[in-house]
Amino acid sequence: MKYILIFLLFIIVANYIKHSAITGDPELMLYVDLFSEEIKQPNQVNISFVDEIKDDDPIYKIIGSCNIFLFYKSIIIDRQNFLEASKIERKALLYHELAHCICDLDHNNLQEMECHYSLMNELLPSQYCLEKHWDRYIKILKHSCNND
């Protein structure tokens, strides 16, 4: 009986977390809403700025991270890098992290000529590539997120 009560409590808490209100910085939430509309995925994720993302990689600086614990999903974004980025770079960063958290996508490091094949590369595409291939990047995300 004790284990059944614990299990039921777990289900109740998990359901609450899964359906709890989405919170986050208003500027970041604009991109979350755009992602939800454009990719056709619900946006059950908390998102916030941090001053620095701790990482041991000496070569590349981590500027965004998706964290999942049970049903709780959160994204943290390095504030300074976000503020220095162009609008399309901001959108690409948020879409990349949202695709990790909401669509459960992993990195895809395929390269096509001078540009990354998709937004799910470990490194964000350059401004030039984002502008040149944005429609393709979105088409790939829609397909991957919706298992089309």
- What's the confidence (pLDDT) of residue 26? 84
pLDDT tens digits along 85-140: 999 999 999 999 999 999 999 998 888 778 999 999 998 999 999 999 999 999 99
pLDDT band at 13 (very low <50, low <70, confident <90, very high): very low
| DSSP collapsed to 3 states, the chain | CHHHHHHHHHHHHHHHHHHCCCCECHHHHHHHHHHHHHHCCCCCCEEEEECCCCCCCCCCCCCEEEEEECCEEEEEEEHHHHHHCCHHHHHHHHHHHHHHHHHCCCCCCCEECCEECCCCCCCCCCHHHHHHHHHHHHHHHHHHHCCC
pLDDT tens digits along 49-83: 988 887 776 667 788 999 988 888 899 999 999 99
Q: What is the pTM of this model?
A: 0.79
Q: Residue 46 corresponds to which tokens in the numbers above?
A: 């908390």
pLDDT band at 148 (very low <50, low <70, confident <90, very high): low
pLDDT tens digits along 24-53: 778 888 888 999 999 888 877 888 898 888
